[in-house]
Amino acid sequence: MRLLLHLADHAGEVVSIDDLLEHVWAGVIVTSDSVYQAVAALRRVLGDDPRKPAYIATVPRLGYRMVAAVGPWIERSQTPSSAHPNPAVTEVKTPRSRSGVGFVWGAGVVLCVGLVGALWFYATSRNGTRPGATATAPVPRRSIAVLPFLDLTEAMDEEPFADGMTEELINRLAKIQSLRVPAPRSSFYFKGKQLPVAVIAESLGVAYVLDGSVRKAGSRLRVAARLVRADDGFVAWAETYDRPFDDILMVQDDIAGEVTRALMASIEVRPDHDRPE
């Protein structure tokens, strides 16, 4: 919300990452990754496409710009003439008034998203089932869904790599016979959807959810992965992998192998050749 307000307060202006860190995360020591992730979260909530932004645009190597129109809030009972009896008077927006406008605008967006999510959850609960799962079916303890990894690169141009990383992980994990893994089509259904982990896990019938992100700095690539327990929403395991971005397939294969080995230990899954006959 603070990020949304700050961008709305400077609508039409380029706001640098340093400025956002200073004002949005004041008094907290964080890295620029926090800005990237928060902007990505806002875009998902607003349904904004970073390639054709209607709300938040990325200005390469400079920062971000609120491109959506930000204006004063006018009650329905008011008309433009009643709000300003003298047509020659032009409203001057001060920083205080613009912040108020941003707060109302941002609060309205969050409220609408929350209402839509609540209505969807209520409707599916009334039906007793959710897509892909039966309400009464027990969830296997050794089951995991890999959600599409997020492209958090500054230019937002590594989505194909992020999707490939997701598919490589699904393929690796699916080869473990003692582990249940939903197919890519089921996982990619939730791409871009803002739903609680518990809802996604119940829909796919799994006990764990693996998600992650892709970032890039120069010729270096960073892939972050997190394993979340569906029953309580807490992170059971997390790791970050840095690799030179020279051979995409090799990087995907290397990271997928390391993540798979780490997850097998976290979920207590033994390799198939160690299983008793």
Domain definitions of the chain by residue range = 1-72+97-126, 144-274
Residue 50, pLDDT > 70, answer: yes
Tell me yes or no: is domain 1-72+97-126 CATH 3.30.2350.10.
no
Q: Average pLDDT, whole number, for the chain?
A: 78
Domains 1-72+97-126 and 144-274 share a fold: no
Lowest mean per-residue pLDDT among 15-29, 99-113, 123-137, 179-193: 123-137
According to the model, what pLDDT value does residue 219 have? Answer: 85
Tell me yes or no: is domain 144-274 CATH 3.40.50.10610.
yes
Backbone angle region of 68, left / alpha / beta, with phi > 0 → left and psi within -120 to 50 → alpha: beta
Strand 235-244 relative to strand 220-229: parallel, antiparallel, unpaired?
A: antiparallel
According to the model, what pLDDT value does residue 265 have? Answer: 83
Q: What confidence tier does 92 reach under pLDDT thresholds 50, 70, 90?
A: very low
178 and 264 in contact (C-beta within 8 Å)? no
What is the rounded distance in angstroms from the CA atom of residue 28 to the CA atom of residue 13?
A: 24
% of the chain exceeding 70 in pLDDT: 74
Residue 93, pLDDT > 50, answer: no
What is the rounded distance in angstroms from the CA atom of residue 257 to the CA atom of residue 276?
A: 24
Q: What confidence tier does 37 reach under pLDDT thresholds 50, 70, 90?
A: confident
What is the mean predicted confidence (pLDDT) over 252-256? Answer: 90
Which of 144, 155, 165 shows the shortest CA–CA distance to 224?
Answer: 165
Residue 275, pLDDT > 70, answer: no
Residue 31, pLDDT > 70, answer: yes
Residue 110, pLDDT > 80, answer: no
